[in-house]
């Protein structure tokens, strides 16, 4: 199955016809186990770009919020469902484009990915050169906005989500989050639900449990310490929420997942 071209095709073809034109620089987050697969092609064709590879989506989400990125490449697999993670990354920073790649995709997956905000999609066997073209096209479009002084899209929801991502370990109220978004509580609740599919409490708990999972794998801290570090006021509540979201108790998760998620790696390519 070859790639189906979408709006990036025209710009990508123009760039291909002008190989001497230097690509726009950019910071690109590659999420998934296949990130290293593209290293050699990227090193040669996109030497002006900085690629950061993270195999674990939870850790990638933290990187995404902590640092500016121009593009996300999300590698769909059995372990990483792009339909689960794509809406989250688009809700956190709507202006950052996401390209989905997969080794075993289908037309239905492509349709759903585009509906959720993917700017391009590559399935099964595809030429890395085509992916490079798509990356260059995205960076050129983004570069035009920057050069013209046109602000990239942003909004109140993004501010609120960033506030929640940064402060989830502290006491947090719906009123405060709505205030960060510049919305009434009722408007914020409706908009948050429509964009993320989650209520305020569900989204906040998902952030806290994601962090708890990282702490459980990073060290052998007591459960109460993990709970307090993630914003829970007591271990009993932490245990109930963790089991509801993860499907198992924190201790069981620690035993089952130790060593599964590799540490992040940073790949920077420069011209030789």
For residue 204, what are the contacts with CB-CB under 8 A and spacing of at least 6?
Answer: 164, 168, 172, 231
Q: In whole angstroms, give the CA distance from residue 129 to residue 115.
A: 25
The token pair at 223 is 């459960």
The token pair at 230 is 């993630």
* pLDDT value at residue 50: 83
Per DSSP, what are the bridge partners of residue 30?
A: 53, 73
Which CATH architecture best describes the domain 156-257? Orthogonal Bundle (1.10)
Q: In whole angstroms, give the CA distance from residue 109 to residue 91.
A: 19
* pLDDT value at residue 72: 93
CATH tag for 8-151 (out of 2.130.10.10, 3.40.50.300, 3.40.190.10, 3.40.50.2300): 3.40.50.2300
Segments of the chain with pLDDT less than 70: 1-24, 34-41, 43, 105, 124-126, 143-155, 195-196, 257-272
Q: Mind listing the pLDDT tens digit for each residue in 179-237?
A: 988 888 988 888 888 766 778 998 898 888 888 888 888 778 899 999 999 999 999 99
* pLDDT value at residue 158: 76
* pLDDT value at residue 27: 84
* pLDDT value at residue 250: 92
Q: Where are the domains of the chain?
A: 8-151, 156-257
Q: Are 189 and 233 in contact (CB under 8 A)?
A: no
Q: In whole angstroms, give the CA distance from residue 235 to residue 225.
A: 9
């Amino acid at each position: 199955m070859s790639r189906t071209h979408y709006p990036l095709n025209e710009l990508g073809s123009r760039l291909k016809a002008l190989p001497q034109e230097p690509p726009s620089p950019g910071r690109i987050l590659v999420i998934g186990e296949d990130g290293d697969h593209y290293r050699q092609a990227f090193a040669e064709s996109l030497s002006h770009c900085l690629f950061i590879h993270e195999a674990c989506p939870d850790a990638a989400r933290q990187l995404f919020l902590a640092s500016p990125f121009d593009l996300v490449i999300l590698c769909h697999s059995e372990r990483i469902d792009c339909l689960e993670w794509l809406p989250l990354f688009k809700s956190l920073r709507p202006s950052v484009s996401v390209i989905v790649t997969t080794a075993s995709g289908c037309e239905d997956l492509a349709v759903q990915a585009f509906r959720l905000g993917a700017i391009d999609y590559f399935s099964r066997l595809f030429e890395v050169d085509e992916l490079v073209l798509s990356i260059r096209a995205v960076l050129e479009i983004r570069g035009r906005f920057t050069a013209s002084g046109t602000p990239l899209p942003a909004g109140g929801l993004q501010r609120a989500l960033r506030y929640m991502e940064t402060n989830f370990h502290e006491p947090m109220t719906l009123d405060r989050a709505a205030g960060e978004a510049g919305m009434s509580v009722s408007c914020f609740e409706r908009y948050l639900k429509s964009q993320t599919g989650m209520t305020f409490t569900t989204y906040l708990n998902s952030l806290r449990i994601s962090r708890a999972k990282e702490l459980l794998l990073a060290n052998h801290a007591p459960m109460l310490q993990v709970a307090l570090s993630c914003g829970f006021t007591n271990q009993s509540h932490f245990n109930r929420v963790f089991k509801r979201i993860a499907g198992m108790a924190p201790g069981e998760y620690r035993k089952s997942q130790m060593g599964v998620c590799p540490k992040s790696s940073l790949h920077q390519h420069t011209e030789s």
